[in-house]
Chains A and B, each alone.
Chain A
Amino acid sequence: MEPINAWLVDELARLSRLSLPEEERRAMTAQLKRIVDYMDILGRLDTAGIEPLSHEAPVGNVLRPDVVEPSLDRGELLANAPAQDGEMFLTPRSVE
């Protein structure tokens, strides 16, 4: 498997929409490498036949009835937006 390297960290940053200037990228690469190397001790744990545990879920299905309740006031919804026109959120060109 690909070890943590600068190229991979760039790729992760791109997927995460983060940009790392050269120096930060070098430090981050070193730190992530140490962390991931440490995590490799998990490889020593025998997990053959163990079901992954993603939820400590309540017993029984948790569903809500199909009932409409009032929505949020639009003014309140838009109040925190950095750019909006009173009706919609604004972004730079996002559609073709």
Chain B
Amino acid sequence: MTWETVIGLETHVELATRSKIFCPCTTQFGGQPNTHCCPVCAGLPGALPVLNEKVLEFAVKAGLALNCQIARYSAFDRKNYFYPDLPKAYQISQLYLPIARDGRVELHTSGGDSAVRIHEIHMEEDAGKLVHDPWIDQTRADYNRCGVPLIEIVTEPDFRTADQVIAYLEKLKETLQYLGVSDCKMQEGSLRCDVNLSVRPLGSDELGTRTEMKNLNSFKAIARAIAYEAGRQIRLLGAGGQVAQETRRWDEDREVTCPMRSKEEARDYRYFPEPDLPPVRLGEDYVAALRAARPELAAEKRARYQADYGLSPYDCRMITSDPALARLFEALVELGAPAKQGANWIMGEVLAALSARGMEPGDMKLPPAALTRIIALVEEGRINRNTGVQVFEAVFDGDGDVDAYVREHGLEQVGDTGLVAAAVERALAAHPRSVADFQAGREKALGFLVGQVMRELKGRADPKLVNDLLRRALGVPGAGKAVEKPPQL
């Protein structure tokens, strides 16, 4: 029998607001345990929630970008269950009247084009973190994350392959990042995904019994978990067995899914309308204003970069891989840097500098004007590219004036041909052996001589000029054209 895999996703995304969803505590990641808490998010008796306006705005923006219907009347509900990461013993979420419904996302994969329907998007609060301490055999609870705003995006069971799932998640991540709604850092848990999966004989239109997989911390894990779980269900059914409806945990090390001990033996969350929060009514003008304010998304940027600047599809993908990089690129171009140069610096030096520091592009402090100036100086030949990289390193962390740095460190190229020619003379005189080697046909010797000249001039000479002068002095025909147009100071 041929089997078909049917997948639906529930994706939790932490919103990039400054303060929490229902109280003014910071949402900053990390921080000493239990220092980002107040009576509201720690669930103290008597405290009350008040909705953060930015959470509503971000949820609506996400809904619009995923082509959803935005609810004109939306409300919160309480989901009741006991667990130590949930200090009120209920989560404020949306069941009956979610903020957005009925969306659609187009996907392009090597397997062809497809579309996924979004069932709904709802707003809710995150829970705290539990860490088990084996030394004291106690679980320790940290409530810093309690009340960090989330949206949960629920798809219909429209995926058939892991490729589609990954394509969807990549598009979702990119979209939410460009909207400025979330940073979608999987490693910090700001994008988390539960996968609902069932299998059925190809051609059947009934859904099989599904399992829900949790603890999926990377796209790679998601793809592998899907492959494993689909195989497991097919083997089970193929052998005449049955799939149990259950929650399964992806075991990263063993690359298998295994049943999770359930939070409650039988779940009854007793949802009911949250009496502490009045419903939210949205007018046409509110929604229209957010629709009009939608920024250019990554795919649109890629098309434009290709068309307007002639960048390659690869370069476009690299530059739009993070909104901060795209912002930098656009700023460089705006400030007058040639697009191709800008792209090269971003893909080369900028990414290298970020990775050396273990930084995210969003945390970059480099002023676009500084990089634009460096590119201009190199273009004009006033510094060479290696020096440019040296200057870049010096100003990357956000302080320092490019021109002042070049001046203070005397990095400007020696433009006086006479000075360079004198250094060439001295190098030839000091290293007769290398001269002889070169004349005996060993090209490598020239490199050594160039190095000697550059060292004497402290790296400030144009390497091309040095090369030309050396060749001419060594009697190579056709050499010396660069001398005709010495760089202007």
B54 A92 Cβ-Cβ under 8 A = no
A91 B141 Cβ-Cβ under 8 A = yes
* A24 neighbours in B (Cβ, 8 Å): none
B53 A57 Cβ-Cβ under 8 A = no
A7–B475 CA distance with the chains assembled, in angstroms: 106
A77 B18 Cβ-Cβ under 8 A = no
B17 A66 Cβ-Cβ under 8 A = yes
* Chain B nearest Cβ from A72, distance in angstroms: 5
* A58 neighbours in B (Cβ, 8 Å): 278
A15 B141 Cβ-Cβ under 8 A = no
A72 B42 Cβ-Cβ under 8 A = yes
Q: A71-B25, A89-B84 are in contact. Are A15 and B270 (CB under 8 A)?
A: yes
* B53 neighbours in A (Cβ, 8 Å): 63-66
Set B24, B55, B249, B268: member contacting A68, Cβ < 8 A: B24
Residues 166-192 of chain B: 1 if any A CB is under 8 Å from the residue's CB, otherwise 0? 000000000000000000000000000
A74–B32 CA distance with the chains assembled, in angstroms: 9
Q: Is B37 an interface residue (CB 8 A)?
A: yes
* B142 neighbours in A (Cβ, 8 Å): 87-88
Q: Is A44 an interface residue (CB 8 A)?
A: no
Q: A64-B52, A66-B52 are in contact. Are A91 and B139 (CB under 8 A)?
A: yes
Q: Is A9 an interface residue (CB 8 A)?
A: no
Set B37, B136, B137, B273: member contacting A71, Cβ < 8 A: B37
Residues on A lying within 8 angstroms of B by beta carbon are 14-15, 17, 54-55, 57-58, 60-69, 71-72, 74, 77-78, 83, 85, 87-96
Set B34, B264, B265: member contacting A77, Cβ < 8 A: B34
* A85 neighbours in B (Cβ, 8 Å): 140
* Chain A nearest Cβ from B406, distance in angstroms: 40
A90 B24 Cβ-Cβ under 8 A = no
A-B contact pairs, 17 of them (CB 8 A): A61-B280, A62-B50, A62-B51, A63-B53, A66-B53, A66-B54, A67-B24, A71-B36, A72-B42, A74-B35, A87-B32, A87-B140, A89-B140, A90-B138, A90-B139, A90-B140, A96-B249
Q: A61-B280, A64-B52, A77-B34 are in contact. Are A54 and B275 (CB under 8 A)?
A: yes
Q: Is B108 an interface residue (CB 8 A)?
A: no
Q: A62-B50, A89-B140 are in contact. Are A68 and B34 (CB under 8 A)?
A: no
Q: Is B398 an interface residue (CB 8 A)?
A: no
A72 B137 Cβ-Cβ under 8 A = no
* Chain B nearest Cβ from A31, distance in angstroms: 21
A69 B52 Cβ-Cβ under 8 A = no
Nearest CB in chain A to that of B142: its residue: A88
Interface of A is mostly: loop
A66 B130 Cβ-Cβ under 8 A = no
Residues 48-63 of chain B: 1 if any A CB is under 8 Å from the residue's CB, otherwise 0? 0011111110000000
A29–B186 CA distance with the chains assembled, in angstroms: 49
* A15 neighbours in B (Cβ, 8 Å): 264, 268, 270
Nearest CB in chain B to that of A69: its residue: B24
B279 A55 Cβ-Cβ under 8 A = yes
Nearest CB in chain A to that of B137: its residue: A93
B34 A63 Cβ-Cβ under 8 A = no
A95–B141 CA distance with the chains assembled, in angstroms: 11
* B270 neighbours in A (Cβ, 8 Å): 15
Interface residues of B in 386-444 (CB under 8 A from A): none
Nearest CB in chain B to that of A87: its residue: B33
Nearest CB in chain A to that of B283: its residue: A61
Those 7 A-B pairs whose CB atoms lie nearest each other, nearest first: A57-B278, A66-B54, A69-B24, A88-B140, A63-B53, A54-B273, A94-B139
* Chain A nearest Cβ from B451, distance in angstroms: 55
Q: Is B281 an interface residue (CB 8 A)?
A: yes
Q: Is B311 an interface residue (CB 8 A)?
A: no
Interface residues of B in 8-26 (CB under 8 A from A): 17-19, 24-26
* A88 neighbours in B (Cβ, 8 Å): 33-34, 131, 140-142
